[in-house]
Structure 1
Amino acid sequence: MLAKYRVLFSILIVVFVLTLAAVVIFWARGFKPNFKNGTIERTGLIVASSTPTGAQVYLDDRLTSATDTNIAFLEPKTYKVRIQKDGYTTWEKEIEVRADLATEIKALLFPLAPAIKPLTTTGAASPTLSPNGTKIIFGVSGERGGLYSLSMTERNLPFRQELRLLAKNQSAFDFSGSNFVWSPDSRQVVARFVSEEGQSSANLLVDTDKSEQELRDITASLTATFQSWQEQISTLAQTQAMIAPDEVKSATAEAEPNSSQLTVDGSQKKQSVNNEPITTNQLNYFPTGLMFSPDEEKILYKNKEGIYKVYDLKAKKEYTLPDFDNLVNLSWYPDSSHLVIAQKDLISIIEADGTNKMTVFSGKFENGFVFAHPTGDSLVILTTLTQPEGNPPNLYSIDLR
């Protein structure tokens, strides 16, 4: 008899363990019992995170949780999600929650009153970002001025750190009056000088890894140098474009026939995909009309109708960006999920799908110069800010964290 009870007890334990395991599995997969209807319902999950952390999460205007936590057992439907934190921009989007699936949200919030710090104090003429985004080159006027390079590799861009004097001004050459063209590998730059009559007077080749170097005029070989650089850029762009769908490549404005980008007649022919003009003997860094995100998973391009589009290679989905009044330029934010939009007296950051446009700076800035630091911690702009009238503009960093 005792043996019989042992067998029965063992069977009950096995049944209990299996039942408990089934309940745990179903619970973990998001199944929720509805005791009112006597049914088991499938649910979804939202995994919400934010930068900075600790923001409030609202679902359909109801405070539900904080970021960096999971919101489980949600009825499958579309929710109006709002993520906010005091002192920061608000993130809002309609999110579809599907049964048995986890929907991930990564909200990037920016300070409403960001700190603005000077990076230069003696002026920064014609600042130009290197193709790899790690250096800014600019000219400074006066006898003590010259050609300077600012490193963008330092995380917080501390004041006056990593400033390098590449070449001093000379009686015949004041770098504050030149413009600059980077080599494809971001190691050299040509400082171009133009006379009052608009004629090229000198083209100095400078190595950006050397300090206070001798100047070398390459005017005689300028055309050959630029052609070689453009060929390198075009080869790399064509290789990169191989992963883009044919319908995207054929939709770009650059796909039009007879649309050569390297003009030699002095005219300003057209604008690059990032809205910057392509001028005489300047290189076009986006000859295919495709601007890849840093992680190369998304493509920004402008179609033949002048509408900006973003194609997500991973999701195989295309997004249309909204119209931007008085657009100056646009560029990728380092996280590859956002774009930096520069309009007249306004700088915003928008998600790659065209939603959540967040203002990060409102005020005057010069020459459309605005770029994100490679870490995403700040933006660098050229502005006079609160300087006395008549002073040259300087480089400033806008803290985004």
Structure 2
Amino acid sequence: MGMAIKNITSTVFSIATVLVIIGASLTVIAYGRGYRLDFTNKSFGTTGLVAATSDPTGAQLFIDGKPKSATNTNLNIAPGWYTVTVVKNGYQPWEKRIRVQGEVLTRVDAMLFSSNPSLFALTTSGVTNPVLSPDGTKLAYVVPEVPEATNGAQMVSRAGVWVLDLLDKPLGLNRDARQIVKREQLDTDQALLFWSPDSKQLLLTTNTNEAYLLESDKLNDIPKPQFDITILQKDWDEMRAAKEKEKLLSLKDEVMNIATSSMSILSFSPDETKILYEASHSTTIPVIINPPLIGTNPTEEVREIKPGNLYVYDVKEDRNYFVGMTKDLITQPLPTPSIQPETLLQPISNFKFQISNSAIQWLPTSRHLVITSKDKVEVMDCDGTNRKTVYAGPFWDGFVAPWSNAGRLVILTNLNPSAQAIGNLYAVNIR
């Protein structure tokens, strides 16, 4: 009898242990998948995980106007639509409408921009005709003949062509701009510069219709004259076409067909996962990824595109966003260069688009667009939300170039016209 009771007790204990283990495992799994007890509503149901990050970190996170935590953080929230606001002193607020789904990770990635941007000079000798390299890592410009006095009262000249790297160096060390040709070698005062598609060479044209090919990484003691510019133009056109074809071939056939028939592509994002374009014809972008991916950007997309509108197509997520009307975002004509194109050899006129940067371009984050208007520079998320003014002040020729770390913009302006007739390059710290 005693042995039977002992066996029953052992069996019950074993079963209870197994049930406890199973129950604990199911609880852990349910918790990990977002299930929570709601003591307020006396219910048990699934939640969604919101992973909120910001740059810089330590910002206040509000959901529907209620403070929740500080970034970076993870929150379990009941499914539904919410307005998320990220706020930090000294920075402009960031806000977006997001959708939280049960058992789905929703990301909130807020990049905050300074409410009081600062400026510092990159050049002091005066600059004309700056031009950004196609890969966005180098800036070439002309320093005209303006003698300067050294401490020994000797007159020196920095006149010529210079290249400034826009890449941050290790340990915070940035290399100074390098001179790639001196004015004693070429008459560079009225020169125009054009980058090669691989960002390694520069074509320099003078006001006497002479053309020279320069290497961008060293001083060109003997610049290479180009007697037949059409040969170089053909080589560069082929190189540029090959790069564009390579990008297009990475797209699905359905998207590539629309891209070649109904889109005027302005640019690919630096990571080549998004396309900024203007619709040239009305059409509908077909659904490529079906069923749609979960946890994608919740901003409402627009797949019916119309001429005169600008859009961003996200290749990875198969989502298309309306970012604005062309006439509203590109509010000014292309800047007029200091040297008129009529002074160039006729074949070089095809390079005119390189004289200035676009009125709308990508930040190196590949998640933001820079919009340049007559008297201000704005940045917005590439889905058309969070449009913020990051600089409002004078700048020349509509020239704006982003630094590679997306924390600065380079502008051309003259803060002291009474002392100098031409402008200089300045870096605007926007973060």
TM-score range (shorter-chain normalised) is 0.7 to 0.9
What's the TM-score once normalised by structure 1's chain length?
A: 0.84
Match of 1:226 in 2: 233
Deviation at 1:324, TM superposition (A): 2.0
2 CA distance for matches of 1:151 and 1:208?
Answer: 10
Deviation at 1:127, TM superposition (A): 0.6
Deviations 1:70-107 (A, max 9, x none): 111x1211101111101001101110111111100110
Q: Kindly, what percent of the aligned residue pairs are identical?
A: 34
Query: Measured at CA, do residues 62 and 156 of structure 1 come closer, stay the same or move farther in structure 2, by a change above 3 Å?
Result: farther
Match of 2:51 in 1: 47
Match of 2:153 in 1: none
Query: Measured at CA, do residues 38 and 167 of structure 1 come closer, stay the same or move farther in structure 2, by a change above 3 Å?
Result: closer
Deviation at 1:338, TM superposition (A): 0.6
Match of 1:320 in 2: 322
2 CA distance for matches of 1:3 and 1:183?
Answer: 86
Deviations 1:305-333 (A, max 9, x none): 33211101011111111232624611111
Deviation at 1:351, TM superposition (A): 0.6
Retained in 1: the 8 A contact 2:395–2:414?
yes
Retained in 2: the 8 A contact 1:45–1:70?
yes
**Structure 1 stretches lacking a partner, 5+ long:** 196-200, 254-288
SS of the residue aligned with 1:8?
helix
Deviation at 1:33, TM superposition (A): 2.7
1 CA distance for matches of 2:331 and 2:173?
Answer: 32
Match of 2:110 in 1: 107
The counterpart of 2:91, out of the listed 76, 79, 88, is 88
Match of 1:149 in 2: 163
1 CA distance for matches of 2:320 and 2:195?
Answer: 32
Match of 2:355 in 1: none
Match of 2:181 in 1: 167
Retained in 1: the 8 A contact 2:36–2:45?
yes
Higher relative contact order (Cα pairs below 8 Å, separated by 6+ residues): 2
Deviation at 1:2, TM superposition (A): 2.8
> Counterpart amino acid of 1:60?
D
Match of 1:306 in 2: 308
Deviation at 1:382, TM superposition (A): 1.0
Match of 2:150 in 1: none
SS of the residue aligned with 1:96?
strand
Deviations 1:166-189 (A, max 9, x none): 111139x44231111111121211
What is the aligned residue count?
358
Report 1:1-400 matches (<5 A).
1-34=5-38, 39-72=43-76, 74-142=77-145, 144=157, 145-155=159-169, 161-170=175-184, 173-194=186-207, 201-218=209-226, 220-244=227-251, 245=255, 246-253=257-264, 289-304=265-280, 305-322=307-324, 323-324=328-329, 326-327=331-332, 329-386=359-416, 388=418, 390-400=420-430
Deviations 1:326-363 (A, max 9, x none): 24611111111111111111111111101101111111
SS of the residue aligned with 1:176?
coil
Retained in 2: the 8 A contact 1:118–1:396?
yes
2 CA distance for matches of 1:207 and 1:37?
Answer: 70
**Structure 2 stretches lacking a partner, 5+ long:** 148-156, 281-306, 335-358
Retained in 2: the 8 A contact 1:44–1:75?
yes
Retained in 2: the 8 A contact 1:384–1:393?
yes
Deviation at 1:119, TM superposition (A): 0.7
Retained in 2: the 8 A contact 1:133–1:374?
yes
1 CA distance for matches of 2:369 and 2:416?
Answer: 27
Over aligned residues, Cα RMSD in angstroms?
2.2
2 CA distance for matches of 1:12 and 1:95?
Answer: 44
Retained in 2: the 8 A contact 1:351–1:357?
yes
> Counterpart amino acid of 2:160?
G
